[in-house]
Chains A and B, each alone.
Chain A
Amino acid sequence: MGAVLFYIFAVVAVLAAFLVITFRNPINSALSMVVCFFCLAALYVLLSAHLIAILQILVYAGAIMVLVLFVIMLMNLRDWELRWGKFRWFKVFGFVLAGLLLIEGIHFLKGYTGQPTAELSEGFGTVEAVGTVLFSKYLLPFEMVSILLLIGIVGAVVLTKKKIKEEEKE
């Protein structure tokens, strides 16, 4: 059962990821990205990472992709985005480089046959277990992440606000 579910979600995730980079319209790309995120969340559940699966849907599919969709709608789509551009050599070059990267990665994995089959500890991946580790062993990194998010908020506001002084001059 687990294997069947894995292959279903894996195939859908790869298809959705492929559509992300082939759709001409960025809105279609963003929506298939959401599908990909949901499949990844399902894979996390199969790996008994329940808290991370919920966070994947809340943070990625919920917050991040909504933000991306908003920004896409702020921009005006122009013709060059909606039709296939003319043939360019750098695209072929990109595919070749990426193919080499994939071959290299799979070649490395081929030699890896070890199967650590540790029995899962009690409550692995639940909110309680992850929270205990997060607030004891990793308390300092957790607090630093909150500062990082604060810097992110301030940075986004500073970058997008209009310059008030120039408006006053006008």
Chain B
Amino acid sequence: MVSLNSYLVLSAILFVLGVIGVLIRRNAIVIFMSIELMLNAVNLTIIAFARYLNSLDGHIFVFMVMAVAAAEVAVGLAIIVALFRTKGTINADEINLMKW
């Protein structure tokens, strides 16, 4: 039986990879996918805890997170498409209208 710690370390590694993606990439879509990666790392933590505590509530939380992620992807990609239409780019460095 794999210990709970192994799952937690794995999900910590996946979360940090997502953080690195958000910090170093300039393509808005790749930043977006890195955020999805972080959401999935948290999902893995919740499922691992649900398994080791023998509780189904964690599965419901993951279900809710997936629904929120789906809504987030629909709205976020719509924003990226609108941005591409008006600015002609999705490079996060060139979208600096709100930067002081």
Chain A interfacial positions (CB closer than 8 Å to B): 2-3, 6, 10, 13-14, 17-18, 20-21, 26, 29-30, 33, 36-37, 40, 43-44, 46-49, 51-52, 55-56, 59-60, 63-64, 67-68, 71-72, 74-75, 78, 80-81, 85, 90-91, 93-95, 97-99, 101-102, 105-106, 109, 112-113, 115-121, 124-125, 129-130, 133-134, 137-138, 141, 145, 148-149, 151-153, 155-157, 159-160
In angstroms, Cα B79 to Cα A159, docked, is 6
Residues of B within 8 A of A130 (CB): 56, 59-60, 63
In angstroms, Cα B63 to Cα A21, docked, is 26
Which of A49, A74, A101, A137 is close to B81, meaning CB atoms less than 8 Å apart? A74
Chain B interfacial positions (CB closer than 8 Å to A): 1-10, 12-21, 23-27, 29-30, 32-34, 36-37, 40, 43-44, 47-48, 50-54, 56-57, 59-60, 62-64, 66-75, 77-82, 84, 89-91
